Amino acid sequence: MARDGDLGKWMRSLLPCYRVSFFGKNVLFTHADVPEKLEEKSVMDRFVQMYDRHMSSPTFVHGGSQEKYGSRLLKTQHGIFWERRFDSLSQEEVDELLNGLETDFLVVGHTPHKKITVHGGKVFDIDVGMFPRYGANDPAAIIFKKEGIYEFYVSKGEKNLVRF
């Protein structure tokens, strides 16, 4: 985890979200649910740019670690790391969110469930609470294939969630 170590460098280079295309479908990965203030792609893109500039700058420029990691930027928009609201969204709200983000699917974590949780057939919470405190649930993953999206559990194998 040292700043100059392989893992430390890599972890410090990660952005708060990541966009990718699988088989013609756009997918956005975030740590937690997307806060309302970041529901538009252009706003999210600006936040990611500000975040990257902030985190890439040397800690001493900010006056130390506490100031850098406790900055207004991270506190006022840090819902991207801690937001928990997808359980309450309707299908229409899920569709509006993804439309605003210009993405087909969203993959999040942060909120442990006993299994992969699907919201509106388009948002996948893949935090299955494998840590003993959250139930030591079966390790799981989400898989994107040409024919659709699948959940995979170590003990049960794979099951289709969405067909393309």
10: pLDDT confidence band, cut at 50, 70 and 90? confident
The pLDDT, as a whole number, for residue 94 is 96
Please give the structure tokens belonging to residue 144.
């994107």
Residue 14: alpha-carbon gap to chain centroid? 12
The pLDDT, as a whole number, for residue 41 is 97
- Rounded CA separation 79/55 (Å): 17
pLDDT in tens, 96-137: 999 999 999 999 988 888 899 999 999 999 999 887 777 788
Cβ proximity of 164 and 147 under 8 Å: yes
* pLDDT at position 17 over 80: yes
- Rounded CA separation 99/135 (Å): 34
pTM of the model: 0.86
pLDDT in tens, 44-100: 999 999 989 998 889 999 999 888 888 877 766 556 777 888 888 999 999 999 999
Provide the pairing of β-strand 123-125 with 117-119: antiparallel
The pLDDT, as a whole number, for residue 76 is 65
The pLDDT, as a whole number, for residue 77 is 54
